Amino acid sequence: MNIVVIDYGMGNLRSVHNKFRKLGVECGISADPAEIEAADALILPGVGHYGRAMDRLRSLDLLSLLNRRVLEERVPVMGVCLGMQLLMEHSEEGDAEGLGWIKGNTVRFRLDDQPRLKIPHIGWNSIEQVRPHPICEGLAPDELFYFVHSFHVSLTDPADALHRTRYGYDFVSAVQRDNIFGFQYHPEKSQDAGIQVFRNFIHLVKKTAYVPTESNTLPSVTE
């Protein structure tokens, strides 16, 4: 199995890469179309500005390749932090168009009426699992994860939500549709819980073939 972390000039690529390597998975960091073409799964991490991230993906001429691999060939993809936000159609940050793989927008936290809560949202916070999915196996219903972000996603279809978290108000902290996964929190910084998310993703990628279903799920990692 070969996982490729997409190198589009944003931060946090190396720490995600190292976690997969420690779990015994062949994992590279690359913007080379040939390596992305050969990957069994793709990781889109990132810490930085939404608009500049999309500009970078365009300048690398990766958008059509990524669209084909993810939307047509159904290669599993995981977006982390900024990477999850890029899955949306649009962001208020930079008034930028996104990948559009999941319908929705990325919006800034509205906390003007709660001055004690600072932006960015930084630190440990619990998640609430919206629906069961194999990617969540082994996690507690109120598992703690580490967050660093000023924006969050607003979904068009609530069925795409996987986790919710409360910071002033409830926001979507994980998404899943077919072969597309997104986590607003940082699994690579979330100790055992984050390792479990990565381990579950690896098990899902190892499945021989992925066939989208109406239930919006992949096969169980315990099968």
Q: Given this model, what pLDDT does residue 1 score?
A: 87
In a domain, 219, yes or no: no
**Residue 203 near residue 210, CB atoms below 8 Å:** no
* Residue 133 is among the residues annotated as catalytic for this protein: no
Q: Contact, 37 vs 65, CB < 8 A?
A: yes
Mean residue pLDDT of the chain comes to 92
Largest pairwise CA distance in the chain? 50
Please confirm, yes or no, whether 188 is among the known catalytic residues: yes
- Residue 195 to residue 205: CA distance in whole angstroms: 15
Find the CATH number of the domain harbouring 96.
3.40.50.880
Size of the chain, expressed as the number of residues it contains: 223
* Tens-place pLDDT, residues 20-32: 999 999 899 999 9
* Residue 220 domain flag: no
Residue 35 among the catalytic residues: no
| Residue 213 maps to a domain | no
The average pLDDT across 32-38 equals: 97
Residue 218 counted as domain residue? no
**Pick from 216, 152, 163: which is nearest to 193 by CA?**
163
Q: Please report whether residue 78 resides in a domain.
A: yes
Structural domain of 127 = 2-206
Q: Which of the residues 17, 27, 81, 121 is marked catalytic?
A: 81
Question: Is it the case that residue 222 has pLDDT exceeding 70?
Answer: no
Q: How far apart are CA 171 and CA 184, in angstroms?
A: 10
Query: What SS3 state is found at 97?
Result: strand
- Residue 35 to residue 197: CA distance in whole angstroms: 24
Spatial distance between the Cα atoms of 24 and 50, rounded to a whole number of angstroms: 31
Task: State the pLDDT at residue 136.
Answer: 96
Q: Are 190 and 145 in contact (CB under 8 A)?
A: yes
- Over residues 175-198, mean pLDDT: 97
* Total domain count, the chain: 1
In order, the DSSP letters of 16-82 are: HHHHHHHTT-EEEEE--HHHHHH-SEEEE---S-HHHHHHHHHHTT-HHHHHIIIIIS---EEEETH
